[in-house]
Chain A
Amino acid sequence: MAKITLSNLAHSYIENPKAKEDYVLKPLNHEWDDGAAYALLGPSGCGKSTLLNIISGILTPSQGSILFNDVDVTFADTTNRNIAQVFQFPVVYDTMTVRQNLAFPLKNRGAKEEYIKQRVGSIARAIQVEDILDKKASGLTADAKQKISLGRGMVREDVNAILFDEPLTVIDPHMKWELRTQLKALHKELKHTMIFVTHDQTEALTFADKVVVMNQGHVLQIGTPEELFSKPAHTFVGYFIGSPGMNVFESKVNGNIADLQGTEIKLNKTYKTLNGKVELGIRPEFIELCEEGEGINVEIMRVEDVAHHKIVRAKYNNKKINIIVPEDIKITPSMNSIKLKPEGINVYVDDWLVQGELL
């Protein structure tokens, strides 16, 4: 189990990078706690896999350093970093049995027979593969194979971190949930540092203690699922998390009054003078649909019923706005106004969240 520190870490695949665009990973400085479960979340190409490969040692960063428990491992070989990795598709040794697969890393390190037996047994129990221990690895289902991949990583007690590179990609949808649950349980039991790369927000939000949201090589926010939801630090985080994502509008802000393209809105915080592109962000969950005249007028386009709630697609000044209405509220044709709950309004300058002073 290790604390992972990134110090001024950046990476470019080009020989002599000049512009910012040449960097696939922009300079990062972060510390990740020992024993925590992190998710690296972001769209394809955001740099999460690159970051993972730098942590595992497959890639050497073009700049900066990475430390495990304050020991510089930037140039250390993968073998010496004591990490485990689970890949997008199951990597198992087809010609060996499950038992032999699990025992393999320990055998290579010259461990004693009884120790191997004991470790294999306890890991097999933890990942629930005891009944197939003596089956050949080649004939198993994809999810069983992924579990074996995982097991091989955990069988070493001194593993620093377990890295997952979109491991549920080849798993059937109904097994995804099952595996995620087992992973979470394993984490609770064994307390390894786990880093889980995914582009699926559900996976990230349900698995991790803290989620690292990335886009275009930048780390935008590291926070608990709660924090990401209520206080997105960047408009992209607001847009990416949540279904549908946050609504963002250009606005002017003066003190505690926001001018939302003509309509005045009272905020529950006050802000100093803001320079730059000013926007208001509000999640659909914080917008209330009300009768005409009681709030801001919007043009209702569609109402989608998704069982637990309804999503109302509307337009305000020709810009799309999404509203979530709880299922118990009936929507009548005369309800075409909205009220914005002040606690859900966030102010962004140049895409970044600005903290105001609470009134």
Chain B
Amino acid sequence: MKKTVNQKAWFLVLPVLLLVGFSAVIPLMTVVNYSVQDTFGNNQFFAVGLEWFEEILHSERIHDALGRQVLFTSIILLIEIPLGIFIALHMPKKGFWASACLILVALPLLVPWNVVGTIWQIFGRTDIGLLGHTLASFGIDYNYTQNVLDAWITIIIMDVWHWTSLVVLLCYAGLQSIPSAYYQAAKIDQASNWNVFRYIQLPKMMGVLLIATLLRFMDSFMIYTEPMVVTGGGPGNATTFLSIDLVKMAIGQFDLGPAAAFSLIYFLVILLVSWAFFTIMTNIDKEEK
């Protein structure tokens, strides 16, 4: 649709601007403030320039957390995106079962994040959890609170349980939008099932796949609650991802300066990668038009 130029539209946008500005800009300014100051205690601050940034960028602890985060995000993207596509291709398209599947598949997305953690915390325990107990009865030594590998596996499976449905729903919507004429043409061309997937279904799902990947990247990079509830970041700091580390620093240790610097760098990283995704997304959008 052709949009008309109208500067008075700013009035319509003003409420949003004020609200989000209040919520975003003021706190961010506080954070920026802290990031360049140090304190003697008793609320007395003095400027220290970029000292905190330097410390953070060189901090081994942060590097470790970043490393863990990158590993985590990569693994879950590698699992959730293909799995999501796979499931979406198998979802019924219409009828009662289509609605039933939609609701059941969407359910994990609406569980409060701490409850997600609680569910899996219980599920994985060898004394009262179905998963833990079953594994133990097969003689497998499984303990997510003490074994690093077990902790990682538990958290990854939990995230797959929690968020794959997002990818499934998006891909499902993408698939629904393909007109049946394409499938008919493929039949006439005697295309194999694999060719149908490669040349018709996958290209048509590219748009939603990109959105799914962007959303999963962003959200997994910020993950806090679920691993916190299940492992508390442990054993040790084996599952301490970036957000967990940041909160420990800011609220736990009240190390305001480093925490603030950390926050800004954190935000920036997400912003950059998301902006890259977003640009690719809109370019694909333009190409299709």
Interface residues of A (CB under 8 A from B): 56, 58, 77-79, 83-85, 87-89, 91, 93-96, 104-105, 108-109, 138-139, 149, 152-153
Contact = CB atoms under 8 A, between A and B. Distances in A.
Contact of A93 (B190, B200, B288): B200
Contacts of B182: 91
Interface string B256-289: 0000000000000000000000000000000110
Question: Which 6 residue pairs of A and B lie closest in terms of their CB atoms, listed nearest first?
Answer: A108-B190, A87-B181, A91-B185, A105-B189, A93-B199, A78-B187
A323 B80 CA distance: 71
Interface string B175-202: 0000101101101111110010001100
A94 B199 CA distance: 8
Given A104-B191, A109-B190, A138-B287, A85 B199 contact: no
A87 B185 contact: yes
Contact of B188 (A85, A88, A95, A139): A85
Chain B binding surface SS class? helix
B195 A108 contact: yes
A153 B188 contact: yes
A84 B287 CA distance: 29
B184 A58 contact: yes
A275 B59 CA distance: 103
16 contacts: A77-B187, A78-B184, A78-B187, A85-B184, A85-B188, A87-B184, A91-B182, A91-B185, A93-B199, A93-B200, A94-B203, A95-B199, A105-B188, A108-B190, A109-B190, A139-B287
Residue of A58, A109, A138 most packed against chain B (CB within 10 A): A58
Interface size range on B against A: 10 to 19
A105 B179 contact: no
Chain A binding surface SS class? mixed
Given A78-B188, A108-B192, A153-B188, A91 B288 contact: no
A89 B203 CA distance: 18
A149 B190 contact: no
Contacts of A78: 184, 187-188
Contacts of B185: 85, 87, 91, 149, 152
A83 B188 contact: yes
Contacts, number: 48
B177 to A, nearest CB: 13
Contacts of B192: 108
A200 B199 CA distance: 33
A152 B189 contact: yes
Nearest to B181: A87
Contacts of A109: 190
Contacts of A79: 187-188, 190
B270 to A, nearest CB: 31
A94 B187 CA distance: 17
A95 B203 contact: yes
Nearest to A53: B184
A78 B183 CA distance: 11
Contacts of A77: 187
B199 A108 contact: no
Nearest to B203: A95
Contacts of B189: 104-105, 108, 152
Contacts of A56: 184, 188
Given A85-B188, A94-B203, A152-B189, 4 more contacts: A58-B184, A78-B184, A88-B181, A108-B195
A55 B288 CA distance: 33
Nearest to B200: A93
Contacts of A94: 203
Nearest to B185: A91
Nearest to B191: A108
